[in-house]
Amino acid sequence: MMKRHVFKFARSRMGFADFNCFLVDFETGSCSTSRNCDSKGLLRHQINASAPRMCSTSCAKVPEDLPKDNPVSDMLLDSFGRLHTYLRISLTERCNLRCQYCMPAEGVDLTPSPKILSQNEIVRLANLFVSSGVDKIRLTGGEPTVRKDIEDICLHLSNLNGLKTLAITTNGITLARKLPKLKECGLTSVNISLDTLVPAKFEFMTRRKGHQKVMESINAAIDLGYNPVKVNCVVMRGFNDDEICDFVELTRDKPINIRFIEFMPFDGNVWNVKKLVPYSEMLDRVVKRFPGLKRLQDHPTDTAKNFRVDEHAGAVSFITSMTEHFCAGCNRLRLLADGNFKVCLFGPSEVSLRDPLRQGANDHELREIIGLAVKKKKASHAGMFDIAKTANRPMIHIGG
């Protein structure tokens, strides 16, 4: 039975356009796809019931008739006028590394598998968000590539009408061999975590071997045409702050976007302000070595401050969560692997979408739960010292 929902939109307080009232129709069904690439290697989506799939799938139940358009719902608008069009989905809490800033030394208790969202549940919830205006999804973990059905998940998500970007944040350990298939299944953007260019340091930080595999994954992504290939580097004083300019060198000849991230506090990662290397200090170091560094135009919702060194193929970015927060332009929401919904990375508040979903909640009821949570989002997160004292889950539970 088709349901008709009327959404009214408020004028944004932050310069977003006015939205008029309109009707949105939702119907469920199934789809099959084929895809090809244009001359620039960009994936194009084609809905074609008679065409063969390029990726084998488990034939999971997905909406039969995906929404014909991508309206923007009041569900995604918070009380400060921020429009949330970016959803990060953690596929798993499991990881094949044990990074010190992500996982406590003693490990963490993982959510039992039956309480982790299934592929069907992920796709259904993602469809709710995309049909309401989300146009970017990022897959995170844990390590998302350890999930066995990641190709199927990518295929189903990439076929949601209105989704423009399907990205992944990964540690790169198994990415090189999986990326060709993931690209066929619609993955459009890649972020690879790498905190050091020194193999011995890598093993110390991650408590595992694998530095060479990560480098191979970065090169494999470049070879497959991802541009840019984003490399995430958490900078910690006394560990890798001496490598900042070495990372910048990686942008000289390759389409790599190095993203320096200020060290952030989460439960169990023994955060200390003495380990924090602030953005201003990192920038000073880069400018002294690369005087041709120039600021690029940032998008209003960017988490990063973006730069490029003259004549370098790639770019350099700084994510300044601790010293210069970017909460005013935040457009991100998070769906955790256990089905909890989180509107702020540093906020302890969570609401379960898994439980009402499994109890038979319809789409309208789920949208109401999501909308109420979004409306309660605060104007900004607490200062870094307050964050450090606030109870929050380890990063591996939340998703990168």
> Which of 154, 150, 151, 171 has the alpha carbon at shortest distance from 218?
171
Q: Look up residue 164 and give its amino acid.
A: K
Give the whole-angstrom CA distance, residue 31 versus residue 165.
19
Give the whole-angstrom CA distance, residue 307 versus residue 293.
6
pLDDT at 198 over 50: yes
Residues 6+ apart with CB under 8 A from 148: none
Q: What's the pTM?
A: 0.79
Residue-wise pLDDT for 80-132, tens only, equals 999 999 999 999 999 888 777 666 666 778 899 999 999 999 999 999 999 99
pLDDT at 379 over 60: yes
Q: What is the pLDDT of residue 273?
A: 74
| pLDDT tier at 328, thresholds 50, 70, 90 | confident
CATH number of 79-397: 2.30.110.10, 3.20.20.70, 3.40.50.1970, 3.30.300.100?
A: 3.20.20.70
What size, in residues, is the chain?
400
Would you say 286 and 306 are in contact if contact means Cβ atoms under 8 Å apart? Answer: no
**Average pLDDT value over all residues in the chain:** 80
Q: What is the pLDDT of residue 7?
A: 33
SS3 call for 231 = strand
Look-up: residue for tokens 């060479």? 212
Give the whole-angstrom CA distance, residue 391 versus residue 389.
7
Look-up: residue for tokens 């480098």? 215
Lowest-pLDDT choice from 180-194, 240-254, 325-339: 325-339
DSSP string, 327-360: GGG--EEEE-TTSEEES-TT----EESHHHHHTT
Give the whole-angstrom CA distance, residue 357 versus residue 220.
38
- Parallel, antiparallel or unpaired: strands 3-7 and 136-140: unpaired
Q: Where are the domains of the chain?
A: 79-397
Look-up: residue for tokens 């063969």? 52
Q: Which residue has the higher pLDDT, 399 or 308?
A: 308
Annotate 87-126 with b (16+ C-beta within 10 A) or e (fewer). bbbbbbbbbbbebbbbbbeeebebbeeeebbbbebbbbbb
